[in-house]
Amino acid sequence: MLDRKDDMTQDAVFPIDGKGLPALEARLREDLTFLCWPGKDWVPRRAEVSDVVIIGGGMCGMVAWLALRTGGMHNIRVLDRSPRGVEGPWLTYARMETLRSPKELTGPAYGHGALTFQAWYRAQFGSRDWAALDKIPRPMWMDYLKWYRSVLDIPIENGVSVDLVEPEGDLLRLHLSGAAEGSILTRKLVFATGRDGTGQPNIPDFVSGLDRRFWAHSADEIDFAALRDKRVAVVGVGASAVDNAAEALEHGAAEVRHLIRRAEMPTINKMMGIGSFGFTAGYAGLSDAWRWRFMQYSFATQTPPPHGSTLRVSRHPNAYFHFGKAVVSTIERDGAVQVGFADGSAYAADFVILGTGFTIDPLSRTEFGDAAGDILLWQDVYTPPADEHSRDLGRFPYLNPDFTFREKVPGTAPWLSNVYCFNYGASASLGKVSGDIPGISDGASWLARELAASLYAEDVAHHWQAMQEYAAPELDGSEWTPTELDVGATRKGKVA
């Protein structure tokens, strides 16, 4: 009997290994053909109206498009404000050397083995290099996503920004700027906008009066070369904080000091410990109390920075980790920044980087206009026990089970039920299925089913009429010969 583990490394099992992307692409096309992809187009068209518009052409937006096309929803537009090739954070504010996720995760492949990162990598470099690869380099992940877009021919419209969403009858009017100006109409809108999809960078109050030349958020463009020989303070110790600290050190900063509110370093990723198909499938059906408890505990214990990212900082002798240093003020003094702490001490820095993550707050999203205040939030619905309080978690949108937003007051903004939150903002209500690599394909499948159900219900009269009018015969009358039944002979026990 073959040893399964050894067998999986043999070229005979993976004939595309090292044969290049054309061989892999041919295999993928064949697989998709066998699966009758894309699905039958069944949604009735409306003139100059899209059935679905997806905002975001990164990983979330592309796998959402794939799921919808698989389900036979073809009248889709995908819009992204970024130039082609820099969608998402991977080549902009994401500054880690490698991804945190294990390399074997299937991510946005949507059940297609030939669409995985592993297949893409092995087709080019072979099994030996795959076995030697530890973590996925961040720029390489973006290269994979570029190929993903290309091989599926995803029609992303780059350089297009959605500035405002307004209801218009039973439709949504999207006001655009950039490469496409004016407005368009759609029946359904999907926010596949990643980590900051229903919020914005978290900017603490303690920098509100500080000149902008002295500080930046980790999601900003930062001129790291200008930090050479400078004293850099990094607030926080999450993944983005340590990645930005490493960039500053590698660009010659005189010193980098992590200013950490916590008394000790978080070391355990609690959510990773319970990740399973059961959690993905079952979380959304739990009570509010249980959903809140899981997410609040994850927030309270904090996800630690990756092992490699932390070593990338600590290997520099001029890097420091200071715990129990909650920043309460920043004051410009003599061309530097006096950083004040809750314990009364202070530190002088030349530049401050905020590794403070993102807020989740629909009120900050300009796309909703005044209607942002109509969105139901968790803090409107659930009051947690005192020991589970979390102001940040309370601002997450309280979604319907189909990813759509709810009205805070019924009847004030019913159109929100046509807007789908397929980004990090959905995690409190539905779990980790719309932003992170591990569960993204499950989330896309879920989204596609819910969208299909809604579109079908709205068009049910059309589908009923189509059923009545359908007249393609499967039998033409040549398949049988009619005979008369001799009732008298049957009663005598005879067969005619």
The model's pLDDT over 225-242, given as tens digits with 9 standing for 90+, comes to: 999 999 999 999 999 999
Percent of the chain at pLDDT exceeding 70: 96
Residue 193 near residue 395 (C-beta atoms within 8 A): no
Give me the pLDDT at residue 8, please: 45
- Averaged confidence pLDDT in the chain: 93
pLDDT category of residue 266 using cuts at 50, 70 and 90: very high
Structure confidence at residue 1 (pLDDT): 37
| pLDDT category of residue 476 using cuts at 50, 70 and 90 | very high
pLDDT > 70? residue 151:
yes
Which residues fall within 8 angstroms of residue 105, CB to CB, at 6 or more apart?
117, 437, 438
In the numeric block, which tokens belong to residue 450? 């819910």
Question: pLDDT at residue 296 above 50?
Answer: yes
Mean pLDDT of 276-281: 90
Give burial (CB, 10 Å; 0-12/13-18/19+) of 229. Answer: exposed
Answer yes or no: are the C-beta atoms of 85 and 146 closer than 8 Å. Answer: yes
Tell me the domain boundaries of the chain.
Answer: 37-100+135-199+360-458, 203-267+304-356
Q: State mean pLDDT over 330-346.
A: 96
Instruction: Supply 448's token pair.
Output: 């596609």
Query: What is the C-alpha to C-alpha distance for residues 165 and 287, in angstroms, rounded to an integer?
Result: 32
Determine the pLDDT at residue 276: 87
pLDDT tens figures, 20-43: 999 999 999 999 999 999 999 999
> Is the fold of 37-100+135-199+360-458 the same as that of 203-267+304-356?
yes
pLDDT at residue 396 above 80? yes
pLDDT (0 to 100) of residue 489: 64
pLDDT in tens, 99-149: 988 999 999 999 999 999 999 999 999 999 999 999 999 999 999 999 999
Hey, is 74 helix, strand or coil?
Answer: coil
Query: With contact defined as beta carbons under 8 Å apart, do 332 and 210 qualify?
Result: yes
**pLDDT, tens only, 169-215:** 999 999 999 999 999 999 999 999 987 777 788 999 999 999 999 99
Homologous superfamily of 203-267+304-356 in CATH? FAD/NAD(P)-binding domain (3.50.50.60)
Q: What's the CATH number for 37-100+135-199+360-458?
A: 3.50.50.60
Asked which of 164-173, 292-301, 356-365, 380-389 is least confident by mean pLDDT, the reply is 356-365
